[in-house]
Structure 1
Amino acid sequence: MSAQITNDWQSWIGREDVRHDHVDPAAVKRWLATLDRAAPADGSVPQAYHWCLCLPDAPTAILGADGHPLREDSDDSFLPPIPLPRRMWAASKVEFVAPLRPGQSVMRSSRVASITEKQGGSGKLVFAEVAHETRGDGELAVREIQSIVFREPAPAGAPPAPPPASGNFDASGWDAHRMLVPSEALLFRYSALTFNSHRIHYDLPYACQEEGYRGLVVHGPLTATLLLDLAALHFGDNTLKKFDFRGTSPAICNEELHLTLRGTFDTIELAAFASDGRQVMAATAAA
């Protein structure tokens, strides 16, 4: 990547996109069914559902080899055509201002906040930060800074990471703990709810042979959603005001995923771990 290309990317900073949607009660029921949970008693929508709203809608004909829209051909993405093929949602900083409710009209305004090139252990990386504001019936509901990382291709012929070592995860020191094993059905349903066609979540040969994973990859926002669900069980629905998360390593389908929480209302720590203690996601929150 030349300096000239990087400089060209800077002209994309400040570029905006506005999308409209509505909180469909039937879609909310399908989301609740996917997570095996009940609706909040006050009729509101649980936190994390905003990730199912104002979705991209690129035609199938312009999807690339990984299932993402080809950025150079798509009007669906307002990010520049960064020439690194592997794209992942790396982190988010979320502020929950007001709960969404079924039937509301929704508008999401998005703005490219920054684009930064870095050199990582696995090669070149480009981080794009996008600022989102989601409004329900005109009132601000969610403010978010989303970080997207673009990476070089996986080395050809590189073996996938080994499975986690056998053993029981030690949940001592945490106030709340939930273990689940994400299934293909859970990943499929979440992909459908978020209109996510990235093949690492449903195409096992592609995930292993092309991207170098040892199995299907659990969506980062799905893991974040499960952590928010744990917080709702512990503190109550729509209690959190802030929630920041960062993916640290991939969670793999059909492997144990341990969700943990500790702390008080103003200082809450959450995390997701594999069975051998490898951290999958780190998060903080405040109520």
Structure 2
Amino acid sequence: MPETATGGLAELVQDWEPPTVRTSRRVDSWPAAAFADLVDAEPPALEDGAPLPPMWHWFLLLPHPRTSEIGEDGHPADGPFLPPIPGRRRMFAGGRLQQHGSIPFGSELHSASAVTSVTPKSGRSGEMLFVTVRTELTVDGGTDVVAVEEQDIVYRSEPEGAERRAVARPDAGEPDPGGEWRLRMPTDSVLLSRFSALTYNGHRIHHDHPYTTTVEGYPDLVIHGPLLALLALELPRRHAPRDRVSGFEYRLSRPAFLPSPVVATGDRQGDEATIAVAAEGVRSSLTATVRFA
């Protein structure tokens, strides 16, 4: 378990005051249909007034930095929620969603995002910075918050000249977790490229094999953490379509790599379901709990 750190990264961010960022966009049906096709699934009802599935707002509220603003890793070199640390390496660690109301297709979706927590910690891999961004969502200019999302992002500092880490591929041979709900999806570089395009994500660990293995130290292209989270939510969408998801909490404990298929499994007990998503034959990369209204 990482321990809270003092000095180092803590000093670099002690005066960091990130702003609140507000964005708006019409809830268009095209990205929803595109994601359903990406995962070989039936799309939800797409007519105006039908509800957007939970977390699918990820396809709508997307920043679009200029090419001249992109850093070495494919992410923006600077931004309102990017901590001021040298050699920044980014990892998606998990998050939470509280869904209070619906986000209808055809409506105008508004978001207000702000950093709510900055926690330096130290572990076996060195110093890390845990940053939590909270986003409140409203629709059509209303004041009622229809959803609240929190994302936990972990940053490491690898300044130029620092020793590069190496991440081993997880050992295979783990038993299949089973579960009453199940989804299996093959993966390849085309799938990752299409998801990167759909989410306007330029992070090179998902599409640039030489960079991923020699600079970031991974054994192969990394399957997107948000894709794993959305595959977890595909289980209730497909197996409990009449029930409304009111909460979703997920944690990413280890990366998943190509070329392994991804397997999502889940079990429901009453108003909750527990879900695990893993590269086939390997310990889970994501564990989640879904709550139903």
TM-score (normalised: structure 1): 0.88
Describe the shift of the 1:63–1:41 C-alpha distance in structure 2 as closer, same or farther (beyond 3 A): closer
Q: How far is the alpha carbon of 1:279 from its aligned partner? A: 1.6
Describe the shift of the 1:124–1:237 C-alpha distance in structure 2 as closer, same or farther (beyond 3 A): farther
Amino acid at match of 1:212: G
* 1:153 corresponding residue in structure 2: 158
- In 1, Cα distance between the equivalents of 2:197 and 2:11? 36
* 1:170 corresponding residue in structure 2: 176
* 1:103 corresponding residue in structure 2: 106
Gaps of 5+ in 1: none
Task: Indicate yes or no: 2:222 matched with 1:217.
Answer: yes
Q: How far is the alpha carbon of 1:273 from its aligned partner? A: 2.1
The more displaced of 38-47 and 272-281 is 38-47
Secondary structure of the equivalent of 2:250? strand
* 1:134 corresponding residue in structure 2: 137
Q: How far is the alpha carbon of 1:84 from its aligned partner? A: 4.5
Q: How far is the alpha carbon of 1:126 from its aligned partner? A: 0.3
* 2:42 corresponding residue in structure 1: 38
Secondary structure of the equivalent of 2:36? helix
Secondary structure of the equivalent of 1:233? helix
Task: Indicate yes or no: 2:264 matched with 1:259.
Answer: yes
* 1:286 corresponding residue in structure 2: 291
Q: How far is the alpha carbon of 1:268 from its aligned partner? A: 1.6
> How many correspondences in the alignment?
281
Task: Indicate yes or no: 2:93 matched with 1:90.
Answer: yes
Percent identical among aligned pairs is 33
Describe the shift of the 1:158–1:54 C-alpha distance in structure 2 as closer, same or farther (beyond 3 A): closer
Contact (CA 8 Å) 1:116, 1:126: kept in 2 or not?
Answer: yes
Map 1:59-70 to 2 at 5 A. 59-70=66-77
Describe the shift of the 1:211–1:68 C-alpha distance in structure 2 as closer, same or farther (beyond 3 A): same
Secondary structure of the equivalent of 2:245? coil
Q: How far is the alpha carbon of 1:13 from its aligned partner? A: 5.2
* 1:152-174 CA-partner distances (Å, limit 9, x unpaired): 33975655413642x574234x2
Q: How far is the alpha carbon of 1:79 from its aligned partner? A: 3.8
TM-score (normalised: structure 2): 0.87
Describe the shift of the 1:247–1:262 C-alpha distance in structure 2 as closer, same or farther (beyond 3 A): same
* 1:128-174 CA-partner distances (Å, limit 9, x unpaired): 11110122223533211111110133975655413642x574234x2
Describe the shift of the 1:162–1:7 C-alpha distance in structure 2 as closer, same or farther (beyond 3 A): closer
- In 2, Cα distance between the equivalents of 1:70 and 1:196? 13
- In 2, Cα distance between the equivalents of 1:97 and 1:237? 16
- In 1, Cα distance between the equivalents of 2:190 and 2:104? 27
Q: How far is the alpha carbon of 1:28 from its aligned partner? A: 2.3
Superposed CA RMSD in Å reads: 2.5
- In 1, Cα distance between the equivalents of 2:221 and 2:139? 34
- In 1, Cα distance between the equivalents of 2:181 and 2:29? 30
Gaps of 5+ in 2: none
Secondary structure of the equivalent of 1:197? coil
The more displaced of 235-244 and 5-14 is 5-14
**59, 82, 106: which one pairs with 1:52?**
59
